[in-house]
Amino acid sequence: MPELPEVEVTRRSFADRIAGARIESVQIGKPLRWPLGCDTTLLLEQHVLGVRRRGKYLLLDLELGVLLVHLGMSGSITFSPNPGPAGKHDHFSLNTSHGVLRLHDPRRFGAVVFASDEQSPQAQKLLGRLGVEPLGDEFVLEDFVQALKRRKGPIKQVLLAGDTVVGVGNIYASEALFLAGIRPTTRAARLSRVRIARLHSAICSVLSRAVEKGGSTLRDFSNAQGESGHFQLEAAVYGRAGLPCRVCGSLVRTIRQGQRSTFFCSVCQKP
């Protein structure tokens, strides 16, 4: 599924182009994961003030409210001045004076939700339990140390939960733990401050690099301009089970954690 880097790459690919646009019409296809939450007429004639990101959510700030967009398991956003008719899997189209913003989602696990503001119950239900942003100044090492010391679960599962630090999904958790030299099954509370500091740095480094490379395209991800990501081409362990570790040459292993595949090097990553 699209993770934080893919969502940030998507945001950057259309945010400047849609800023200031007037909403002229809204088209809704088959039901998505959650309903829009308002009559579409409420959106008409409003201007898009800007586009932010919170975790894996895109936030379109309007004059009266905010649209929260989630890409689900297989969703992607396109923004084009002349996109043509909506296709079979195009389930939400925001037609504006600058172009058409369209959510394409074959599995329909994505959503577009309207909230009166970011502090409203509708928004807080989705955003209220998210952890700190890993690419912002609020991702402070000492706070991260204290948060992990309170968690007894395996470190990879703690990262995936998103309530300590948000957006470190399956791909990038595996990559950050490899870079930090930490076995994914290690209990979070057992990590020393030195190892947590390495993990803190690795998370920032891996996510920043992924954004720089346009995210990861494992199946069909592309940004709002139709461009694929390339981070997967330089992944150290993710998706490389049975292949030589790029550092020590031993075979990359895979296990299941919480119904997700975890990739690691048993030599480079210590318990």
Active site residues: 2-3, 56, 260
C-alpha span between 151 and 238 (Å, rounded):
24
In the chain, % helix, strand, coil (3-state, to 5) comes to 30, 25, 45
Place of tokens 């696990």: 109
Q: Could you tell me which residues come within 8 angstroms of residue 12 by beta carbon, excluding any fewer than 6 positions away? A: 223
CB atoms near residue 173 (< 10 Å): 26
Q: Counting beta carbons within 10 angstroms of the beta carbon of residue 55, is it exposed (0 to 12), middle (13 to 18) or buried (19 or more)?
A: buried
Cα–Cα distance, 245 to 11 (Å, whole number): 33
- Compute φ and ψ for 42, nearest 5 degrees: -65, -25
Q: Which residues lie closer than 8 Å to 188 by C-beta, 6 or more apart?
A: 148, 149, 151, 152, 153, 154, 155, 158
